[in-house]
Structure 1
């Protein structure tokens, strides 16, 4: 079992990370903290066995970049996957130079998270085995082509999905299907299919709002909107 620590100061995003993690076999969540200072305190407890950290960048007290440098200096055996909205070349270069095993940019899908975690799990299984490693094994298990991240289920067009995501991300506060229909120029029935898919991936969350008169209205919220992260 791979023991995972989540470091994320946004409770909503932390919950998404936890939900995605628990769907993948072979991983166990040992803790969740919201800044680098608390994370270092967590790691100093001998009872906490951490193999992998899911790490954000923008956090109070000690941000992810400072934490990454410190944890690699003091706990070099712990692996790190960045899960953040930080997209600057400087941050990505720093993370890669400090040995992160993957870099996931928000908002992300379950498929992308699953790809990162399953690739990591395969890597650990292979490297812990006392055998010689062939090139075909490396290509298949440790350095797979990123096919899963680009996969779309039947009936979901990749370019249309990207367009809907961008429009959803631009919404302020709660929004309805009716509002998006005009902006996307997609029929209500087709749009509902894309919104259902985005909700499954944790990108949006749907909530029924009850009114004094009439039927309740299904309203959506973009899950990464409340902070510039």
Structure 2
């Protein structure tokens, strides 16, 4: 004779085993963290990509780099001279361009990361403990926050096309105020031309040159070098 159980009762053993397995996994992760003596470093791969997607969905106007791939990261950082001095990164997000800068040879202690999203800024501090991470808007950063560091280059992951003109002007003015006289800003865009409007470029006496078109990114992107005249 078969014993018939109600569906709710039949599911209980499976649910209990699931809870037990989850508790064991949590215990193992906590033990790993305890043995390392601190929080786990930022994870690479799908969990990080999913975080970027989640932040993009929450605020698409402020977060535009979750689809930045390795080809774009390598291209936007390829003119950076690791020996020239500190590098300022605007809107590092999940750290795609940051890791490309490290692979390029920029020392971690020479990285200045300006990230407005508090959650992402916290993750960046765990991932790159030697870097200076500023949790503020790019246009709100001040030279005092940099503690005397003078960046020799700027890499921007900000979606400037989503920002009003005044904010774009504030961001560029702040970035150039931190940097050495010959520093350049490297900016990517998914649009057909430079994301900084011509009237802003003229008013600020800036020039822009497209250095590359990255077809292997999804969607394809262009990289511009913005310099002072």
Instruction: State the TM-score, normalizing by the size of structure 2.
Output: 0.34
Query: With structure 1 as the length reference, what TM-score do the two structures score?
Result: 0.34
Higher relative contact order (CA 8 A, sep 6+): 2
Larger radius of gyration: 2
